[in-house]
Amino acid sequence: MSDDEREEKELDLTSPEVVTKYKSAAEIANKALQLVISECKPKAKIVDICEKGDTYIREQTGNMYKNVKRKIERGVAFPTCLSVNNTVCHFSPLASDETVLEEGDMLKIDLGCHIDGFIATVAHTHVLQEGPITGRAADVVAAANTAAEVALRLVRPGRKNKDVTEAIQKVAAAYDCKIVEGVLSHQMKQFVIDGNKVVLSVSNPETRVDDAEFEENEVYAIDIVTSTGEGKPKLLDEKQTTIYKRAVDKNYHLKMKTSRFIFSEISQKFPIMPFTARALEEKRARLGLVECVNHDLLQPYPVLHEKPGDLVAHIKFTVLLMPNGSDRVTSHSLQELQPTKTIDDPEIKAWLSLGTKTKKKGGGKKKKGKKGDKPDESAEAEPMDTTNGATTQE
């Protein structure tokens, strides 16, 4: 198939091969997340942990599709980020950064993997402590998790994006938390991590998105960020930004030799997916990236912060809208939560009681699992227990 023909025929979930690639990418993303969590210990350097996550994804994807005729791109779809406490997102520091983790830190881990451009992303919140999470820390994690569970049940064919925006805000309010503004949940396609169909986290006059309806065979990264603060994060220091994505539709003749060198390296190594400046030579990168960003050749992913003392939780999952229902392919179980609030709102309870699979007529037989098999991750999501918001798909 020529490139032109490939472009004409957009590959989606109607192809079993595409579904397999999404699920393989998801499995690697889930295991990378598990590895990163296991590396999170007091006094561990954040940059070392981020590097281990990325290395794992590169190694695991590198072992797949080795002996195929057509070269299959694969690897990191979003660099491993580790954002602590009131830092909202995208913290993935340069090699020279000495920041370490401390006991009691609330960590947001965010990463992505792709195989042949089919992307699976995941984000998870972990508190660096033994025993259950209590108080406001538990509230903010439960708010993110419950909102994610509601979103999973509302992102389905025939529903509208604005239904999800309204619902997740209602859930966060039930825990006396805010959904963080400016976070978008994107449709994903082959080699496209930020598709045009989006779900807004908070609707306000400044941020408008087109109304859209979810359709069968689409894939979404559902991105939920909650805060005990105002939910209006700020960029404090542009120097903290290390993650960028090439803007493929922009051209400009760079003036500085350093910028041209860096942009050429980016175009070769990271033509489409987001990347971290750690992968570039540090001194040269700092200079060159500025001109590239100033002329819109690169899209930065800024490190945003809520106010000191605010707690921020983040849960992101990838969902495939299959003909038989929604298939959440990335997730991780949470620590035990003991929030100060419980869900009493009948509308939220009704959303949580929805299943995620479409019931097929004519009750087909269930396959019996082999002895010792793990339960299938994509099994029917159970109606969620609303007592503490801690239920999540394993």
Q: Determine how many CB atoms are found less than 10 A away from the CB of residue 277.
A: 23
Domains observed in the chain:
16-235+305-353 (3.90.230.10), 242-301 (1.10.10.10)
pLDDT in tens, 9-20: 678 999 999 999
pLDDT in tens, 357-392: 876 544 444 333 333 433 333 334 555 654 455 544
How many degrees, rounded to 5, is the angle at CA 87 between CA 60 and CA 245? Answer: 50
H helices within 192-273, ranges in order? 257-269
CB 321 within 8 A of CB 156: yes
Q: Following DSSP, what letter does each residue of 292-349 receive, concatenated?
A: HHHTTSEEEE--EE--TT--EEEEEEEEEEETTEEEE----PPPPEE-S-----HHHH
pLDDT greater than 50 at residue 260: yes
Q: Is residue 52 packed enough to be buried (19+ CB in 10 Å), middle (13-18) or exposed (0-12)?
A: middle
State the pTM of this model: 0.90
pLDDT, residue 391, reads 47
Q: Which residues face 244 on adjacent strands? A: 275, 300
Strand-strand pairing, 243-246 and 133-134: unpaired
pLDDT, residue 389, reads 52
Q: Is residue 287 packed enough to be buried (19+ CB in 10 Å), middle (13-18) or exposed (0-12)?
A: middle
More confidently predicted of 330 and 360: 330
pLDDT, residue 383, reads 56
pLDDT in tens, 171-199: 999 999 999 999 999 999 999 999 999 99
pLDDT, residue 380, reads 44
pLDDT in tens, 122-133: 999 999 999 999
